[in-house]
Structure 1
């Protein structure tokens, strides 16, 4: 059972309900994570704003989903691994690519460099050595992409930690950590 419950639509503010209606129109449902964020409108809008903002960068949908999988695995977030395993299929990743991404691997060298960088950021709490930084750059990850990876780590860490603390009920096909 969740520690932090999803918001009840009948008690939510008009603004929150309008936001949740927009999410439902876009996704076909309101995932439990988003309904949990709705308990704090500031958290809900922060999540949705950052989530939308990262789509406007240079990273492709496949790369962003691969990052979400690698970060979710690094943070042991079953909810996010379950959600992003499904979403990744819609972005064009097959079963093998999804499994590879969870282990910071990819058939594409740049994507693999992005994944390895993201996992280092998570595991090292944002502290990269000069060697880590240079390895990423030598693999083709320029300053702009490094910052986009940081934004994606921030977004996914927000959801990973929220799910850990809230114990969000998984409403996607369940994937084991």
Structure 2
């Protein structure tokens, strides 16, 4: 049971209602994470603005999902792992790639995201050099940081709220095996 309620769109404050309706039209449903964010129209609006901005970044949908999975694994967010496993599949990640992204060893995006999250942004010169050696430019590095920030926000929200899953649950990394 959630510790912060997921507000039905029709019961949301006026400022959040239109945003939730737009999410519903875009996704075909209003996930519980968005409905929980609706407790604060300002937080919902801020999340949606950053989400829209990162969707236009240098990162592809696959790369954004890879970063989301690595970040959510470190932060222990079952809700985001479930949501982004589904999103990752839609972006072309197979089961083995989903697990590799969560471990941070799929590619340079996953490795950098995992390291940034583990170290709370205090990565060392070797981490940055490894990302650059793998081909990431400064714009991509900044976009990975933005994606990590976006996911950390929702990871923390869902961990505090204990948001009820409305996506298929995924196995803990220790228990997961590629299909």
What TM-score, normalized by structure 2, do the two folds share? 0.92
How many matched pairs?
172
1:62 lines up with 2:74 in the alignment: no
Report the more deviating stretch, 150-159 or 90-99: 90-99
Instruction: Report the counterpart of residue 121 of structure 2 in structure 1.
Output: 126
Which stretches in structure 2 are left out of the alignment for 5+ residues? 173-179
User: Matched residues in 2 for 1:134 and 1:126: separation?
Assistant: 15
Deviations 1:76-131 (A, max 9, x none): 1100111111111111111121111111122xxxxx11211111111111111112
Residues in 1 aligned to 2:141 and 2:26: alpha-carbon distance in whole angstroms: 29
Which residue pairs with 1:79 in the alignment? Answer: 79
- Give the 5 Å matches for 1:9-28: 9-28=9-28
RMSD: 1.1
2:135 pairs with 1:140: yes
**By how many angstroms is 1:11 displaced?**
3.3
Match of 2:110 in 1: 115
Query: Which secondary structure does the structure 1 equivalent of 2:123 belong to?
Result: coil
Instruction: Indicate if the aligned counterparts of 2:32 and 2:166 stay in contact, CA closer than 8 A.
Output: yes
Query: Which aligned segments of 4 or more residues in structure 1 are displaced greater than 6 angstroms?
Result: none
Q: 1:173 aligns with which of 147, 164, 168?
A: 168
TM-score between both structures, scaled by the size of structure 1: 0.93
The farther-off stretch of 11-20 and 141-150 is 11-20
Which residue number in structure 2 is paired with residue 109 of structure 1?
none
Contact between 2:69 and 2:85, CA under 8 Å: does it hold in 1? yes
C-alpha distance in 1, partners of 2:75/2:43?
20
Q: Which has the higher contact order (CA 8 A, sep 6+)?
A: 1
CA contact (8 A) 2:66 2:109 kept: no
Alpha-carbon distance in structure 2 between the residues aligned to 1:11 and 1:20: 11
Q: Mind listing any 5+ residue stretches in structure 1 that lack a counterpart? A: 107-111
